[in-house]
Structure 1
Amino acid sequence: MSLTSHDVIEFLKGELNVDEPIDPESALFSTGVLDSVAMLNLIGFVEENAKIEVRASDVTLENFDTAQRIEAYVTSRL
């Protein structure tokens, strides 16, 4: 199953209670919008909804700092 940047943004707003404006290119971790605990929740969401296992070596800013990068990462794993 694919996962879109919109799905990620909805999760961030609905489940992680992010109040700041977020678009697909908003930096999430490098700007401090999300912390390491939120990262664990986000990884669980990605794994469950995309039906993939996120490898520890894949948890980088290049793959997870924006909703758009998360979508690209998931697409590359399908």
Structure 2
Amino acid sequence: MSLTADRLILFLRDALRVEGEVTPESALFTSGALDSVAMMNLIAFVEEQAAIQVRADQVTLENFDTPGRIVAFANAAAA
């Protein structure tokens, strides 16, 4: 299964309660919209949706700061 931006944004809004407009370019961690507790839930969701295992060294702002980066990372890891 692949992770889509739409599915991820819906999860961010509904499960993680990110307020305001969320686009693929929205900063999640550098803006303070999400914290470390939310990161754990986000990683679990990404792993489940993309059928991948996320290693600790992969959890970087480069891979996880925006929905677009998360989707690109997850789909590349699943390939």
| Residue matched to 1:8 | 8
TM-score normalised by structure 2 residue count? 0.94
TM-score normalised by structure 1 residue count? 0.95
Displaced runs of 4 or more, over 4 A: none
Post-superposition shift, 1:17?
1.3
Post-superposition shift, 1:15?
0.6
| Residue matched to 2:25 | 25
Distance in 2 between the 1:24 and 1:76 partners? 16
| Residue matched to 2:37 | 37
Q: What is the root-mean-square deviation of aligned Cα atoms in Å?
A: 0.7
Equivalent pairs counted in the alignment come to 78
| Residue matched to 1:52 | 52
Calculate percent identity across the aligned residue pairs: 58
Post-superposition shift, 1:16?
1.0
Distance in 1 between the 2:6 and 2:65 partners? 15
Post-superposition shift, 1:32?
0.3
